[in-house]
Amino acid sequence: MKTERTQNESALVCAAREGDKEALNTLLLRHWRWLKALVYGVLADAQDLDDVMQNVCLRVVTRIHTLREPECFRAWLAILARREAIKHYRSKTRRPDPTADDFVAMSASGAQCGPLERLEQRELCRKVLDAVETLPEIYREVFMLAHSGALTYAQMAEVLDVPVTTMQIRLVRARRMVQDRLIDRNKQKVHER
Amino acid sequence: MSTIDDKLELVIGKFLDGEISPAEQRWLDEQLQCNERARERLEQLRTLNECSRQAVTADVLEQGRGPEEILQLTWQRHQRSRWRRVVRADGHLRFAAGLAAGFLLGLLLHFVLASGEMGPAEPRATGTTARDIVPSRDLVPTRVSGPGLGQDARVNYPGSVMRDVDWYSFTDRTGRQWLVEGVHEGSVRPAAYYGDL
């Protein structure tokens, strides 16, 4: 089943390389979720996400003929998307890449939310995303990919170009960081009261 | 955090992501049965996982324009940029185009100037072809002075000029040389001559 899907995808890539617009659209739609999650993982901001996604698509359209091995399409797409996102991040936002220190600093800066139990589900989601945005990039990327629900662990490792075990450890750490961040906020709020 | 906690979080994460192996599932079941902390951690991570999936989907993946719209815009942009690339050709191409244009202009000037120099010239005698220059229809045969049809031989051309006429010369049996005007292909009429007619 997996092989069939890979062959199908390789055929689509070959067609796209020959200039088949529909094939390229199908490929991009198929990879859309994780691609968008990855770009967000680099940008940590949803504001320019559509613009960057459009740039990524344009890059794919103009560069697809340079892809030699169709089975490497996912990894190739990830590299292209990450480069485009980093380029945009550097040119537009001009803010420093959040590091682990920033994460600690953000945790200590206090929050305006109430205790975890009292938060609405929607608000909690927003807080989770805020916490994700403060993660260092390598953890943010893996967190976003894992929660986009579009890729398996092996595929995530391929996209991130790291071994599966490294990816798993990063994911565990990212989850722990996000949770610690939320708990810290709650503790801070209790202290303030 | 202890090693067992790390392993527990890793296995719970795999369980929540649907990546757990049968052996890990058995280990996790054992932990959940005998370890209160494991159950607590599972609940925490389950809540976090649900919130995270919901947040990523609702606030990131489903925000903004849909993929179809972005793809459509991309293709439009691609079309525009392709035209721009054609118009904005690179340096070498522009240089070559300029060179070719200059060459063509030079050729054109050459031919224009050359045709201007020829102008309404006189016919040349003795078998040469003088296109473009012809005596008028009312040309009266004129006797050319001098012993032969050399360089100095001239014909008077009163009035207007007629085009597409060739000039020929021939020597008859008596040794006289004749200058003949060929008005049209296939028809010949005398234009100038020596001696009495």
Q: What is the pTM of this model?
A: 0.62
pLDDT at A101: 43
B104 to chain A, any CB pair closer than 8 A? The answer is no
Query: Residue B13's closest CA among B64, B49, B65?
Result: B49
Q: Judge whether B100 and A72 are in contact, CB under 8 Å.
A: no
Domain ranges of chain B: 3-61, 69-116, 122-197
Cα B68 to Cα A43: distance, rounded to the nearest angstrom: 22
Cα A88 to Cα A80: distance, rounded to the nearest angstrom: 12
Residue A166 has pLDDT above 90, yes or no: yes
Pairwise pLDDT comparison (A105 vs A42), residue with the higher score? A42
Q: Report the 10 Å Cβ neighbour count for A2.
A: 7
A162: helix, strand or coil: coil
pLDDT at B11: 93
Q: Judge whether B146 and B152 are in contact, CB under 8 Å.
A: yes
Residue A31 has pLDDT above 80, yes or no: yes
* Strand B177-184 to B187-193 pairing: antiparallel
Domains A2-93 and A100-192 share a fold: no
CATH 1.10.1740.10 fits A2-93, yes or no: yes
* Helices within B35-190 (DSSP H only): 36-56, 67-87, 91-118
Contact across the interface for A125 and B6, Cβ inside 8 Å? no
Cα A13 to Cα A79: distance, rounded to the nearest angstrom: 16
Query: Residue A108's closest CA among A33, A31, A181, A16?
Result: A181
Contact across the interface for A62 and B61, Cβ inside 8 Å? no
Among the partner-chain residues B13, B48, B73, the one whose CB lies closest to the CB of A178 is B48
Query: Residue A85's closest CA among A62, A57, A110?
Result: A57
Residue A65 makes CB contacts below 8 A (sequence gap 6+) with A17
Residue A81 has pLDDT above 80, yes or no: yes
pLDDT band at A80 (very low <50, low <70, confident <90, very high): very high
Pairwise pLDDT comparison (A132 vs B197), residue with the higher score? A132
Closest approach of A180 to chain B, Cα-based (Å): 11
Helix (H) or strand (E) holding B144: none
Please give the share of chain A, as a percent, with pLDDT higher than 90: 38
Q: Judge whether B190 and B180 are in contact, CB under 8 Å.
A: yes
Indicate the fold that domain A100-192 takes in CATH.
Answer: Arc Repressor Mutant, subunit A (1.10.10)
DSSP state for residue B171 in the 8-state scheme: E
- Length of chain A in residues, anyone? 193
Most confident of A2-11, A148-157, B84-93, B163-172: A148-157
User: Model confidence over A61-71: pLDDT tens digits?
Assistant: 988 888 888 88
Contact across the interface for A33 and B48, Cβ inside 8 Å? no
User: Model confidence over B4-55: pLDDT tens digits?
Assistant: 788 899 999 999 999 999 999 999 999 999 988 899 999 989 988 988 998 8
User: Most distant CA pair in chain A: distance in Å?
Assistant: 65
Six-digit token string for B30: 């054992």
Mean pLDDT of A8-32: 89
Count of A-B CB contacts under 8 Å? 102
Q: Is A34 exposed, middle or buried (0-12, 13-18, 19+ CB in 10 A)?
A: buried
Residue B35 makes CB contacts below 8 A (sequence gap 6+) with none
Identity of the residue numbered B128 = T
Domain ranges of chain A: 2-93, 100-192
User: Model confidence over B115-165: pLDDT tens digits?
Assistant: 766 555 454 444 444 444 444 444 444 444 444 444 444 444 444 455 566
> What are the φ and ψ backbone dihedral angles of B191, each rounded to 5 degrees?
-115, -40
Contact across the interface for A28 and B81, Cβ inside 8 Å? no
Query: Residue A155's closest CA among A63, A34, A57?
Result: A34
The verdict on ipTM greater than 0.90 is no
DSSP state for residue B143 in the 8-state scheme: E
Contact across the interface for B60 and A121, Cβ inside 8 Å? no
Contact across the interface for B53 and A54, Cβ inside 8 Å? no
Residue A157 has pLDDT above 70, yes or no: yes
Cα B125 to Cα B168: distance, rounded to the nearest angstrom: 7
pLDDT at B86: 63
Q: What are the beta bridge partners of residue B166? A: B182
Closest approach of B94 to chain A, Cα-based (Å): 23
Q: Report the 10 Å Cβ neighbour count for B125.
A: 22
Contact across the interface for B78 and A126, Cβ inside 8 Å? no
pLDDT band at B186 (very low <50, low <70, confident <90, very high): low
Q: Taking a contact as any Cβ pair under 8 Å apart, which residues of chain A between 75 and 104 contact chain B?
A: none
